[in-house]
Structure 1
Amino acid sequence: MRLHPVWLLLMLCLSAPVAAQERSAVIGARAMLQYWSDPLEALGTLHAEESVTLSATVTDIVVELNFQDGEMVEAGQLLIRLQDAEEQAQLRAAQATRDERRSTVSRLSQLQDRNLAARADVEDSQARLRQVEAEIQGLEARLTNYQLRAPFAGRVGFRDISVGSLVTPGTELVTLDKLDMMKLDFSVPEVYLAILQPGLPLAARSVAFPDETFDGEVASIGSRVDPVSRSVMVRAELANPDLRLRPGMLMEVVLQRSPRDTVVVPESVLVPSGDRQFVMVIDEADDNRLERRQVSVGERRTGQVEILEGLGAGELAVSHGLQRAQEGDKVRLLGITDDDTTIRELLEANRSEGDT
């Protein structure tokens, strides 16, 4: 059986004759305070923060289109105008009648001031003026049905109509979505209901962007538990500044429950004994003397473990070389592994020093 080169180096460095070195050689790992959470996975579907399908409310012909496929539009922007010539003519006629009745009211009021007109005639003319003003307001309200404007800023969908198309009430003309913030809906088993709360962080991924993670947080929790699936709906919010996420996308959700700062060490520092776990702590203040200490472990990740009790952040523990080291021994520290320093680099560096 052939050994990996790293293990060969490790055996050469850690198994040197005791006569040649008074202390056992070890490699250490420092306990680090890190941000951890217990992941809860789910599948969710994206929805736009605001979404609407604009449709016709009257029967008439399209005379103006002011958007292109997928265009960004502003709130209040005119998108579609229908033929409204008849209604415009009725409005102009009503406005002319209003002007005439205003003149009549003004003339009768002047005559009444000189006791040349009856008060009843003045009041009748004022009533007729209010009547035509109400008619104008009604016509203006009806005219808004012939102009479809964007209710909010967003991106329009495909344009499936053309100028000259006849539309009827209920005809879907164009979709509009506000995409700078997305809603992500997913279900969570009811057993986790106690830990769900607004503001809980999460990360979401999509097969469309496999190398990217979209961060968000829980916005609200459903008010009911599904009696069939025994799950509760959760709605989260994801920022979408680049507008790459689209409504309807399937997202893999990792909910970061119980977020906390905790002490983390490599799994290689653990020394199991029955159902208990120990570590060999290197007392740097006492000339690298070893202390065997029982620890309580929590969650595990790939190659890492959470320490709940028994080891503090910043303390140094033996990760390799425990075969020859005993509690109370003073050891020779070959180096400390971290994100920037691998075991292989430490072993090769110490082997080079030994050759010289």
Structure 2
Amino acid sequence: MTAPGPRRGGRNGPNTSALDRNRPRVQRGHPIFPSKPSQKSVLRGVRSIPAPFDGRVVEQKVRNQKFAQPGQALLDILDDSVLELDFVVPSKWLVWLKPGHSFQVAIDETGKSYPVKLTHVGARIDPVSQSVRITGAIGGRFPELSAGMSGKVLLSPPS
């Protein structure tokens, strides 16, 4: 299972554990690095940096009171608003498997099943394995889920 972030670059976030769930959350438009005005910040007009979107802080790359280069990433923020699954299926399933198809996924870490809707079918079929990459999005908000969890897709061809 993956999440669309961190938005800074990669598509998939790093694996998370129970400790990661305690990491701080950020909200769009709220300050990431609030600071007290100093002579330098008043001269430059920069006192805080708003979060670009809601999400979880994966890694803080720059600490308070440290100088950052222009364009340097300050934080890795994981956009966990929509969790996605990436998996492969036999290419002959493309006859019936289309975007919008609903199915379930059983997540190993929670022992529960969750609803999924197919969002994207890969453009290329692997010629050796005759398989194609599929992406689905978990429907709804489930706080017990985190990016990087694993599970089993509960999907079978129609009879």
**Cα distance, 1:219–1:90 mapped onto 2, change above 3 Å:** closer
Question: Quick check: 1:198 aligned with 2:152?
Answer: no
2:121 is matched with 221
CA RMSD after TM alignment: 3.1
Task: Give the Cα–Cα distance (whole angstroms) in 1 for the partners of residues 44 and 147 of structure 2.
Answer: 43
1:245 is matched with 145
Task: Give the Cα–Cα distance (whole angstroms) in 2 for the partners of residues 208 and 52 of structure 1.
Answer: 25
State the number of aligned residues: 146
2:100 partner SS: coil
What amino acid maps onto 2:144 in structure 1?
R
Task: Give the Cα–Cα distance (whole angstroms) in 1 for the partners of residues 89 and 38 of structure 2.
Answer: 51
8 A Cα contact 2:32 2:49, kept in partner: yes
State how 1:283-302 maps to structure 2 within 5 Å.
none
2:155 partner SS: strand
Displacement of 1:89 in angstroms is: 2.9
Gaps of 5+ in 2: 10-21
8 A Cα contact 1:180 1:240, kept in partner: no
Q: TM-score, normalised by structure 2?
A: 0.72
Task: Give the Cα–Cα distance (whole angstroms) in 1 for the partners of residues 62 and 6 of structure 2.
Answer: 20
Task: Answer 1 or 2: which has greater strand percent.
Answer: 1
Displacement of 1:190 in angstroms is: 1.1
Gaps of 5+ in 1: 1-45, 55-68, 92-142, 259-298, 300-356
1:48 is matched with 3
Q: TM-score, normalised by structure 1?
A: 0.36
8 A Cα contact 2:24 2:57, kept in partner: yes
2:49 is matched with 148
Task: Give the Cα–Cα distance (whole angstroms) in 1 for the partners of residues 157 and 50 of structure 2.
Answer: 43
Task: Give the Cα–Cα distance (whole angstroms) in 2 for the partners of residues 235 and 80 of structure 1.
Answer: 35
State how 1:6-155 maps to structure 2 within 5 Å.
46-53=1-8, 70-80=23-33, 86=40, 88-89=42-43, 147-155=48-56
2:49 partner SS: strand
Displacement of 1:235 in angstroms is: 0.8
User: Deviation digits for residues 232-278 of structure 1, max 9, x if unmatched?
Assistant: 111101035232221222221122443xxxxxxxxxxxxxxxxxxxx
2:83 is matched with 182
1:167 partner SS: coil
Determine what percentage of the aligned residue pairs are the same residue: 23
Task: Answer 1 or 2: which has greater helix percent.
Answer: 1
Tell which structure's C-alpha radius of gyration is larger.
1
What amino acid maps onto 1:249 in structure 2?
M
Task: Give the Cα–Cα distance (whole angstroms) in 1 for the partners of residues 136 and 106 of structure 2.
Answer: 14
Displacement of 1:87 in angstroms is: 7.2
2:109 is matched with 208
What amino acid maps onto 1:74 in structure 2?
Q
2:3 partner SS: strand
